[in-house]
Structure 1
Amino acid sequence: MFAIACGYEDADDLDALRDDPGFRLALGKLPESGAGLASQPTMSRWENAPTTRELASMMAAMIDIYCASYPAPPTAVTLDIDDTCDVVHGYQQLSFWNGHHGERCFLPIHIYDTATGRPVAMLLRTGKTPSGKEAAGHIRRLVRHLRRNWPDTHITIRGDGHYGRPEVMAYCDAARVDYVFGLPTNSALRADPAIVAVADACAVKRAQRQCPVLRNYAETRYGAKTWKCQRRVVARIEASTLGMDIRYVVTSLATGSAEHIYDTLYCARGQAENLIKRHKSQLASDRTSCRSANANQMRLILHTAAYWLLWRIQQAMPRTAALASAEFTTLRLRLLKVAARVVESASRIRIAFASACPDADLFRALVLRLKPAPT
């Protein structure tokens, strides 16, 4: 976990890092004396050791860590669920050809509390789009575990059209979980009188005003043949010189205007894409090159643990600090991969930074904020 946070995601790097004084100190060992840390073969065996049941327990513990990160149960949370393309490096277990991405890949599911940047769960899965039954199963297990920790917290699930499936919405309705999902267009929605009227008026108004783009919103009640009931559908209508563009969202929320549902609630899921990019590109969580699916899931858990470590450092940062909103790569270069002299004596360990260290004051503040409370 510490190696991944510092940018050494390959187990091969551990042969050179097993005697690094910084890593030794982080793991509670003396920096210069004693046996070295785990080597690459040891780490590789460890990654392949957990069984499926043990990995499921780790995933449950990951959700417990998320819940414990709040000082008190929140009144409500909105969780974003999405999958992302993880290109494979061979014929690993669960790898599958995905025509949309044009790659043989995994499509792991990422779930975030986007408002705070907290990771909730990461699940390795095959490279095809999840079915409604599969997605509903994942959400059901997530909600069940969350409610063991937070029985009174209101949960809202947000996702794109992959997750706006009848099985998912039926479960959410039954479990008293609100949702905001993207909805693919179809001929029935395109012909809906309420949406057509607003779209025509928007196009006419844009032409009269000679605006390059004009946006409006509409809503209707819609029920597909596979749905058990009609649901609220919100349409974002955008008329431009290029033509008409209409996007749809289905939601269980009864309150809030169509504009609020789309622009404020649904579009906020775009931040989840940034968190996935942070997880993949800044922590290299797509380095799932083991042959075993269990080993790759274990790596995904380790990368999420590294995410938690950097997120915690970011949250401990004074709000006035220049690095308070920095990306993980910046935090790594400025705070983790910093040159220092480590001296081990009989009675103490001294860590000396350069006298001209530009972040010396920030280091002092972080030490005080991250220091464990006395027991």
Structure 2
Amino acid sequence: MVLLVAQGWQDHDDADALRHDPAMRLAVGSAAGLTPLTGHPGLASQPTLSRCTAMLAEPANLKVLREAALELAGRNLRAENHGKRRSRTTLDVDSLPIEVHGHQPKAEWNGHYRSRIYHPLITSIAETGDMLDARLRPGNVGTADGALDVILDVVDRAEDSLCEITHVRIDAGFPSGALLSGLEARGIHHVARLRANPALDRLAAPHMKRPVGRRPTEPRMWTHELEYQAGTWDEPRRVVLVVKERPDDLLLDRFFLVTSISRFQMNGQALLDHYRQRGKAEGHMGELMDVLSPALSSTNRTKTHLRGNKPKSVTPAVDAFACNEIRLLIAMLAYQIMHVARRAMTRATKTPWSLRRLRERVLRAGARLVISARRMTLILAEAAAPFWAAVWPQIQMLRGAGP
């Protein structure tokens, strides 16, 4: 299923067309010789994949699949770091609207996005592009709903596999008093954007003045240190005011960052630079949606017709919400595998690669399978062969890294 999604085959019906494809059978088969090609009846069909999805949706299997993406990212990052965990990693946590068009359970109208959606919570690493965790949630929940438990779980697993110290970076929809206190109680440093309010604007007012001199020809930013306690917070916290000046604007603009990092560890400008890295995480989530396009289409309705005919037996309805979470996790695993290959290709060719370019130029390349008495040879298309020759040693290096 992961390979199908990585290559762009979103619908399980595509499996029926590809189950007898020789290259696909060799890629997913573990048997030696001609067995993958001669075995009957070929790879999994659409009904088999649907049953597999339902089995993976069992709570124990769902937990293992959820842990797989973080473990895959951990192995890749350790391999790139000579087998060692990183000293520090920042986790980016954000919600991601996924629009649906059917009777999917818990898909609801969301007034903010003005569509019927699921509202999953995604955890990633902006600086490296790795996706670590995805939690499917109903479409009408708030951005921060259940976020603290998810963050603490991912932090625990990340510090076992990825790094020694974990920081968290979140946007303005998250920083409630309970969430910030929960992170600080565990000693987890955080930086978050704060929504503006009259109290913050009063604190910022003395600093909303243009510097002496001519207006700049390019946009510029500067910071000021504040201390602020919201009504739901149990103590004052460090807040950094970021003032923005644009050449054509009459008035200055501003936004606020709240953090548990002291000014001695990171000054205002350094904190702003650190927070702005979050934009990369949004770019990676956009790539997940654009290239992998998770199709969360499972519903609880039992099948009354199968390809125009009534089924021979009636099976009970599946847990469609859990099945849709499996589909989301499969898409995230496909992203992560493609991302590992993308980083390997970037190292090999010294040029940046997008996931779409990787798919079209490398993963979906034409090939011809030649079978002789003693061996099978897969002859790649001339356009793709140099890329595979460059990336294969990098992939072998990652395979040798081990857990």
Counterparts in 2 of 1:1-375, with a 5 A limit? Answer: 1-28=2-29, 30=34, 32-35=37-40, 36-49=42-55, 50-69=57-76, 70=78, 71-130=83-142, 132=144, 134-149=146-161, 153-192=164-203, 195-202=204-211, 205=212, 209-211=214-216, 213-240=219-246, 241-254=249-262, 255-262=265-272, 264-285=273-294, 287-291=295-299, 292-317=320-345, 319=347, 321=349, 324-354=351-381, 357-371=382-396, 372-373=399-400
Q: Are the structure 2 counterparts of residues 374 and 246 from structure 1 closer, same or farther at C-alpha, using a change threshold of 3 Å?
A: closer
Cα deviations across residues 291-334 of structure 1 (Å, max 9, x unaligned)?
21111111111112211221121222253616x41111101111
Asked if structure 2 preserves the Cα contact closer than 8 Å seen for 1:317 and 1:366, the reply is: yes
Distance (Å, rounded) in 1 between the aligned partners of 2:95 and 2:143: 12
Distance (Å, rounded) in 2 between the aligned partners of 1:133 and 1:82: 11
Asked if structure 1 preserves the Cα contact closer than 8 Å seen for 2:69 and 2:336, the reply is: no
Asked if structure 2 preserves the Cα contact closer than 8 Å seen for 1:198 and 1:216, the reply is: no
Q: Are the structure 2 counterparts of residues 211 and 94 from structure 1 closer, same or farther at C-alpha, using a change threshold of 3 Å?
A: same
Distance (Å, rounded) in 2 between the aligned partners of 1:74 and 1:210: 43
Following superposition, which runs of at least 4 residues in structure 1 exceed 6 angstroms of deviation? none
Q: SS of the counterpart of 1:232? A: strand
Q: SS of the counterpart of 1:246? A: strand
Cα deviations across residues 215-271 of structure 1 (Å, max 9, x unaligned)?
322120111111011111111112442423111111111122212211x11111000
Distance (Å, rounded) in 2 between the aligned partners of 1:339 and 1:214: 49
Asked if structure 1 preserves the Cα contact closer than 8 Å seen for 2:119 and 2:136, the reply is: yes
Asked if structure 2 preserves the Cα contact closer than 8 Å seen for 1:157 and 1:177, the reply is: yes
RMSD: 2.2
Distance (Å, rounded) in 2 between the aligned partners of 1:65 and 1:359: 26
Asked if structure 1 preserves the Cα contact closer than 8 Å seen for 2:75 and 2:401, the reply is: no
Distance (Å, rounded) in 1 between the aligned partners of 2:282 and 2:103: 27
After alignment, is 244-253 or 44-53 more displaced?
Answer: 44-53
The one-letter code sitting in structure 1 at the alignment partner of 2:198 is S
Q: Are the structure 2 counterparts of residues 132 and 280 from structure 1 closer, same or farther at C-alpha, using a change threshold of 3 Å?
A: closer
Unaligned runs of 5+ in 1: none
Distance (Å, rounded) in 2 between the aligned partners of 1:227 and 1:26: 54
Give the structure-1-normalised TM-score: 0.90
Asked if structure 1 preserves the Cα contact closer than 8 Å seen for 2:346 and 2:352, the reply is: no
Distance (Å, rounded) in 2 between the aligned partners of 1:230 and 1:261: 18
TM-fit CA distance, 1:4 = 0.8
Cα deviations across residues 62-108 of structure 1 (Å, max 9, x unaligned)?
33333333221111000101111101121212212110100110111
Q: SS of the counterpart of 2:13? A: helix
Identity %: 28
Give the structure-2-normalised TM-score: 0.84
After alignment, is 73-82 or 121-130 more displaced?
Answer: 121-130
Asked if structure 1 preserves the Cα contact closer than 8 Å seen for 2:226 and 2:238, the reply is: yes
Q: SS of the counterpart of 1:78? A: strand
The one-letter code sitting in structure 2 at the alignment partner of 1:66 is A
| Counterpart residue number, 2:304 | none
Distance (Å, rounded) in 1 between the aligned partners of 2:145 and 2:335: 29
Q: SS of the counterpart of 2:290? A: helix
Asked if structure 2 preserves the Cα contact closer than 8 Å seen for 1:198 and 1:217, the reply is: no
TM-fit CA distance, 1:343 = 2.1
Distance (Å, rounded) in 1 between the aligned partners of 2:154 and 2:380: 44
Q: Are the structure 2 counterparts of residues 242 and 47 from structure 1 closer, same or farther at C-alpha, using a change threshold of 3 Å?
A: farther
Asked if structure 2 preserves the Cα contact closer than 8 Å seen for 1:132 and 1:166, the reply is: no
TM-fit CA distance, 1:201 = 4.0
TM-fit CA distance, 1:133 = 5.9
Q: Figure out how many residues of one structure are paired with residues of the other and give that number.
A: 363
Distance (Å, rounded) in 2 between the aligned partners of 1:367 and 1:146: 28
TM-fit CA distance, 1:370 = 2.0
Q: SS of the counterpart of 2:377? A: strand
The one-letter code sitting in structure 1 at the alignment partner of 2:183 is C
Asked if structure 1 preserves the Cα contact closer than 8 Å seen for 2:124 and 2:133, the reply is: yes
After alignment, is 235-244 or 110-119 more displaced?
Answer: 235-244
The one-letter code sitting in structure 2 at the alignment partner of 1:18 is R
Distance (Å, rounded) in 2 between the aligned partners of 1:135 and 1:249: 19
